[in-house]
Amino acid sequence: MDRYERILTLHRLLKSAHYPIPLSRLLGELECSRATLYRDVAFLRDALGAPIESAGVDQAAFRYEVGEGEKFELPGLWLTSDELAALLALNELISRSGPGVLAGALAPFKARIEGLLSDQGSGKALPIERIRVIPWGERKLDQQVFRIVAGAVLERKQLRFRYRARTTNADSRRTVSPQRLTHYRDNWYLDVWDHDREALRSFAVDRIVEAQSLDAAATDVGEADLNDLLASSYGIFAGKPKAWATIRFSPHAARWVADEHWHSQQKGEWLPDGRYELKVPYSNSKELLMDVLKYGPDAEVVAPLPLREEMKILLQLALSGYARQ
């Protein structure tokens, strides 16, 4: 943990504590020596003006002064990379909402975010425009449909709609109990209990039309059951894992893949020759193969054999398109 992280962690520990924090706990939380901790405490108190006071009789302890600690904040932008990304993403989503029905309701949130992203010490706005959040693969969404769908999810009402599946181009009508909305790769998906099929399903919201919220109460499915079927396999496709895919990446691609999150249950290891072997559970191979294909010759599907053969067919079909004169 570097000094920036230690100062931020120390501040948050002291600000959230109702009682003095023993020195031993602070040493464990900050993963540093006693001398380093005392230097950080001195910097936080003397350079940043934190209202730190010593406490404890049998052992050293620290806390923020009662009344002053609640008002004290670190000057400037003290956010982790995840927090900054979350704030910027939220700010971007609010900006993209446009002058719709939520504009007035979201305005206070936007002002609050801009306040968090300002330099509290000088009062100046930081040049956040120099940090970009770029949407990727976002599909056009009917906002009226989205509002009906989201309303049914939150109000726990059944939905009826017409669905146009991209994979088959088939048109069907569904009556469902909406379970949750999922924002995945810049697009929205609706997890439902499909009353006609009597099964859990996931639908792309941008393919839903003629949405209608019904008076009937939605049937609730337990979160464990939802995750078991809709979140246990690779990607957005539903279904329990039917196999584990083994993919090997070249030493060049491994520099990226080894640090990437593909699935919550993924397994990875470095091979003696510098390649990286990744294993992920999957149900539907389509999205997995699409993601592997983007690595071109730097990725090889090793197992299982049906998945490897499916990849070979995709590559042969792609190559045949270039063979035509």
- Give CA–CA dist 299/314, Å, rounded: 14
- Give CA–CA dist 297/26, Å, rounded: 49
User: What is the pLDDT, as a whole number, of residue 100?
Assistant: 54
Question: Taking 90 as the threshold, does the pLDDT of residue 49 lie above it?
Answer: no
Question: Between these two residues, 135 and 17, which has the higher pLDDT value?
Answer: 17
Q: Distances from the Cα of 53 to the Cαs of 50, 62, 66, 283, in angstroms?
A: 9, 6, 10, 56
Residue 202 half-sphere exposure, CB side, CA atoms within 13 Å?
Answer: 19
pTM of the full predicted structure? 0.62
User: What is the pLDDT, as a whole number, of residue 250?
Assistant: 96
User: What is the pLDDT, as a whole number, of residue 101?
Assistant: 47
> Which position has the token pair 């900006």?
95
Residues 6+ apart with CB under 8 A from 291: 235, 262
User: What is the pLDDT, as a whole number, of residue 158?
Assistant: 96
- Give CA–CA dist 70/319, Å, rounded: 64
Whether 161 contacts 174, CB under 8 Å: yes
User: What is the pLDDT, as a whole number, of residue 104?
Assistant: 59
Taking the alpha carbons at both ends of the chain, their separation in whole angstroms is 59
Question: By mean pLDDT, which of 17-26, 55-64, 104-113, 286-295 is the weakest?
Answer: 104-113
